[in-house]
Copies of this chain bind each other. A is one copy, B any other.
Amino acid sequence: MLAAAGDLLLAEGMAGFTFERVSAISGASRTTLHKWWPSRGALAAEAYFRTVESTLAFPDTGDIAADLTEQLLAFVRLVTGTTAGRVIAELIGSSQTDPELAAAYREHYSAPRRALAVAAVEAARDRGQVRVDVDAEAVVDQLWGACYHRLLIPDQPLTEAFARTLVDQLVHGLRTREITPS
């Protein structure tokens, strides 16, 4: 059922995503759908997560900069190369005025994905690859958050080169290379 709902969502965006359409293509009754999901937004958030989950696995090669780059590139390719980008932008947009969608989005998508990235950064810290006082949660905002910023407010393009720059600038810092960090 969620697979069918996810296909509909990616094909038509939120505009064509209704309980009626999901019921028609999945065979589940509207009563059943309403029983499990409080709103079409909540259903859309969970369907989106299930559909893109497999493409967003977090690699672990032991090299944190390489792993962050690889995962960020996979994310950028998903949101720029498929209809997933428009759908996720609409989900985040609608979540600003739909509390049930916002809760479902965080529970099924953003919180678990954030946790995977935080765990990877903390493992790198424990291996001595990043500074001991790293704020792993803030790293997520400075990499993925930066990409969402360009997705939602497209003043500048969201590209693979941009993703690589994000990792480079954050890992190495902005200071002039000749100066040793204090």
* Interface set of A (CB-CB < 8 Å, partner B): 14-15, 89-90, 92-97, 105-106, 110-111, 114, 128-132, 134-135, 137-139, 141-142, 144-150, 152-156, 162, 165-166, 169-177, 180-182
Contacts and interface: CB of A to CB of B under 8 A. Distances in A.
A151 to B, nearest CB: 9
A105 B135 CA distance: 31
A85 to B, nearest CB: 11
B93 A95 contact: yes
Contacts of A142: 142, 146, 166, 169-170
Contacts of A97: 14-15, 90, 93
A169 B139 contact: yes
A166 B149 contact: no
Contacts of A111: 155
A28 to B, nearest CB: 27
A9 B93 CA distance: 18
Contact of A141 (B15, B150, B171, B181): B150
B153 A92 contact: yes
Contacts of A180: 180-181
Contacts of A89: 96
Contacts of A172: 173, 175, 181-182
Identify which of A93, A97, A141 gathers the most chain B CB atoms within 10 Å of its CB: A141
Contacts of A177: 131, 181
Nearest to A157: B137
B169 A156 contact: no
Contacts of A156: 114, 137, 141
